[in-house]
Every structure is written in C-alpha cells, then in structure tokens.
Amino acid sequence: MQADYVIVGSGSAGSALAYRLSEDGKHSVLVLEFGGSDAGPFIQMPAALSYPMNMRRYDWGYRTEPEPKLNNRRLAAPRGKVIGGSSSINGMVYVRGHAGDFDHWEESGAAGWGFRHVLPYYKRMETWHDGGHGGDPAWRGVDGPLHVQRGSRSNALFKAFVEAGRQAGYEVTDDYNGEKQEGFGPMEQTIWRGRRWSAANAYLRPALKRPNCDMLRCFVRRVIIEEGRAVGVEIDRGGRIEIVRANAEVILAASAFNSPKILMLSGIGPGAHLGEHGIDVIADRPGVGRNLQDHLELYIQQQSLQPITLYKHWNLISKGLIGAQWLLTGRGLGASNQFESAAFLRSRAGVEYPDIQYHFLPIAVRYDGKVAAEGHGYQAHVGPMRSKSRGAVTLASDDPGAAPRIAFNYMSHEEDFPDFRRCIRLTREIFAQDAFAPYRGAEIQPGEAVQSDAALDDFIREHAESAYHPCGTCKMGAPDDPQAVVDPECRVIGVDGLRVADSSIFPRITNGNLNAPSIMTGEKASDMILGRDPLPASNRQPWVHPEWRTSTRAAAAQA
C-alpha cells in the first residue's frame, strides 16, 4: 500500500506516466484505477466504438448541467471508467494538435511547452505506419509504444471528400500530423493489428509486467496532505477506507472532471467554494475547476444515391458477420473506426492556422450509435476548434462519491454562433462539389429549408453535440498567475509532492482530438518528475499558409 510514485488514473496520461516512471527499474510505481477490465470486443474492436462510451460499466456517466445556450439540454460528458481510461472508449482518432497551439501555451505561461519542446515527445511516443498512403516520415516516430496507422480508405466516399475539398479550392495534405496540418487528407487512428491501441495496450500492460509497477483497483477519495506536502491518497476499497502512501510524489491523471474534483476534496481550490462544502482550505487556488473547455460539433448529413455506405451493414446479421470476421482474423470493417478522411481548415482570412476540424464518415449516424438515418447517407462532423467560451467543474457536495457539477457554458461567447454558421455553410459548399455528384442526394440534416442565420442558430441549439474533449480545469501557467493550478513542471502551486498531468492542465484546448496531447503530457511530465533533462528541442518549422492574412483557399489558387 505504498510506492515511490502513486498515479491516480490509468488513462491516456496515467498509463504513459506508469510506463516511463517504472522504465529504469529504480522506482516503485502504483496506479490507482476505479474502473474494471478492458477485455472483450466492445472495447477492443474499433468499429464497436459507439458501445463502450454508452455503457455504465465503462463510463463514469457524467452529464452537464442544463446548457442555457443549447435549449437547456443536458449533454452527455463521458469519461472512461475502465483500464486505459478514455483511451479505451474514445473514437481512436489521432491528432497531435497544431504547432500554434503549443506556442500559445508557452506564451501564456507554460514555459518549456512550445511546439519545439513537445514535438520530440510526440516522436518518442509513436510508431507510425503510413500504410503506403504517403505522409511525412521526418516528422514522425519509429519506435514508440503507441502505434498510429491509417485506414484503407477503400470506400469511394473517403476519396470523394478529399477531392471535393480540393475542387472547392482548399489545401490538401498528406499528413496533418506532420509539417502541414491545413487541408484535406487521410485521418489517423490509434489502431494496431485490428485492435484498439489504447494507452492500456500501448503503455500500461507493458509497465505492469515489470516487478516495480503495480495497479490497485480502488476509488480515490482525496489526497492526504501533511504540513504542506502530499504524502498519500485516501481510498475506498471494498467499502473500507484505507491509505496509500507515496514516498516521493502523488500524480493526478484522473481527467478534466475528476482531477479538479479530487483537488477540491483535498482542500485545494477556490477557498469560498470549498468553505461552502465545509472543506478546510489548504491551498486557495481559484483556478481549480475553472477554464473548462471542449469542442462542440454538428453532424451535417447527406443522402447517398448509391448504396455504398455503411448503412447496408446497419442490421444485426451484418454486424454479427463483421464481428465474427474481426474475432477470427482481426480484419475487415471491424478493424477500423471508419474515420478515414479528415480536414483542418481556416474559417476566414486573418486566422493564422486552422480553427475548423472535419471527421468524415460514410454513414449518416450519431456518434453514440443511437440514431442512423433511414437509408444510405454520409456525414461530416464539423465544429470550431477554439471557442472562447469557458465553463467550470465544481463540487456538488463534500461526498467523494458524488458526481461533480459540470457546466461548459457552451456557445456563450458572441463569436460562437457565427463560427458555427460558417462551418455549416462551408460543409454545404464541399458537399456541393463535382466529386460528390455521383452520390449526392437530398440534405438530411440540417435540411434544405434551413438557410437563414436564425434557422441555422435554432438548428445549432438543438443539435450541437460535445466531441468529448474536456480540458483546462487545472490550468498550467506561471507560478504568479492567480488562475494557474500547476506550474510548467506540472507541480500543484502551493503544495509539495503533488502534480497533475492530464488534459486538465492544458491552458487552451488543442486543435483536434485530445488523446494524443494527453499521452504526450504524460510522456513529458515523466521526465520532469524524474529530474531528467528534457529531450532536445526541435528546429522543425510548421507550414503556415503564405496568404493566411488574405485568403482561406489553396496557396496555388492564388498564383
């Protein structure tokens, strides 16, 4: 019940931390995880991705407070309650984020987290497989624990999406995780040999094979702090309250919801809020739980005139055959998340790097798998990447077993609705190109009649969904920043021996899905915790559109 390093959470960052902190054999590492096994096809089969995020067995089951700007809807806010955390229930999409995201982190006080500092960690963590589809090998990793691949893109609609983007005058890119993010191109997946390549498969299982790394199934109640230092964690195991001691440090990697919750239950957070719940204040940090961010997205759906979409498999017999093929061979439609083409675009001239992301899918269906449009269709998931809206995670009670209150405050900034309208109209422009002519039927959603700003705004309020990318609630910044929770070494300001290393420390949300930057955070934090010199900074420069101040279209089109 003690170890040098006690890690709370076995998710994307926590698994990477366990792997790296135990790697040299000099330190004992104990991972605390409440969730159960990730065995079985619902998690391991990529095409089954809509199941685990909707199963209470694997998901904490959190919901937002009623969102005022979204017709007071309460949105699902899934987080993984399972070995591997959210990397075991996510969509397996791999996006590093844009160089500009990390340079912004550094400019806002996260010294040492600029793009030149994080790129070497992205390369260290990857084994990249281009699958003969092109790419940017000089920017990619070759021997890391995390396998990254591309789908086969055998469905003609995947190529139609990229070609339509080119026809509309936008950039194309061979590798949005390489030098050039901007443009239409192949999407990347954390899938290997037909299986979900979660942080559990990549990092945690190899770590647990070592004699100095172990995992304890338990519920973490709070961090124990004595004389200003974290000395352990109070846990509930089988109804008994016990103490796990940390000889060196406690590291929270429990998600953008649970990391701030645990800090507040431990007496670290906004003093007045803690006082409301009768919690003694150890460190008055007003930023704990604040700065909550996410990506919202819409599903723009079009009927397909040709029966080539995945709808033909939307029945029990076909699903059973796909599952059987996957179980026997690890191949077929079951071996892909079906997100195989993507785009990153700039919404308007004067935006320096992309602020819109697309996932393209050759079926018209909700992300949670609950509703498929009747008949053949295709869709683009689209949304702005850098909303200025901010929310908060707060305590509902001093009971550790109570869910936190989650209020994203979605669409509360004046730019949010115009940004989303731009996304809808841009998607319609892309779907109207000649590349889609052989397939294009009627628009399913929003529908041809939804054209005016007011009508689009009504559609957004009713249909915008979370992309499940919460972050920012334990913001990393300069020690003298009153809103910062951790310093650039991930140390909780005001308490010794305690760090946070997960997506909650992101000062601002990155461009794209958050699994990759969360793993990178665990990788980079591990070197800091062990007192190692950081990997040498990279001198690679990302591509920036030469006419970004005046145009959103392809540079060649300006000539």
Closest C-alpha among 364, 361, 327 to residue 341: 361
- Cis preceding-peptide flag for 286 (omega within 30 of 0): no
Helical residues (DSSP H) of 283-415, grouped into ranges: 316-329
Rounded Cα distance, 229 and 224, in Å: 8
Cα angle 361, 345, 537 (rounded to 5 degrees) comes to 105
Q: 3-class SS at 407? A: strand
Q: Which candidate in 27, 117, 359, 469 is catalytic?
A: 469
Closest C-alpha among 421, 491, 502, 503 to residue 456: 421
User: What contacts 437, CB < 8 A, 6 or more positions away?
Assistant: none
Q: Kindly give the interhelix angle for 416-431 and 453-463, rounded to the nearest 10 degrees.
A: 100
Binding residues for FAD: 82, 90-93, 220
Residues in the chain: 559
Rounded Cα distance, 224 and 2, in Å: 13
Could you tell me if 377 and 194 are in contact, meaning their C-beta atoms sit under 8 angstroms apart? Answer: no
Rounded Cα distance, 189 and 49, in Å: 12
Rounded Cα distance, 318 and 330, in Å: 16
Rounded Cα distance, 8 and 15, in Å: 10
Tell me which DSSP letter residue 116 carries. Answer: H
Rounded Cα distance, 329 and 177, in Å: 29
- DSSP labels, 257-314: HHHHHHHHHTTEE-HHHHHHTTPPPSEE-TTTT-SBB--EEEEEEEEESSS-SGGGG-
- Per DSSP bridges, beta strands 240-252 and 2-8 are parallel
- Per DSSP bridges, beta strands 240-252 and 229-237 are antiparallel
Q: What is the CA radius of gyration of the chain?
A: 23
Closest C-alpha among 533, 528, 502, 522 to residue 146: 522
Rounded Cα distance, 293 and 501, in Å: 17
β-pair partners for 241: 236
Which one-letter amino acid corresponds to residue 48?
A
Rounded Cα distance, 179 and 173, in Å: 9
Known catalytic membership, residue 104:
no
Q: 3-class SS at 200? A: helix
Could you tell me if 51 and 236 are in contact, meaning their C-beta atoms sit under 8 angstroms apart? Answer: no
Rounded Cα distance, 516 and 177, in Å: 10
Rounded Cα distance, 362 and 304, in Å: 9
CB-based burial label for 546 (10 Å; 0-12, 13-18, 19+): exposed
Residues classed as catalytic: 469
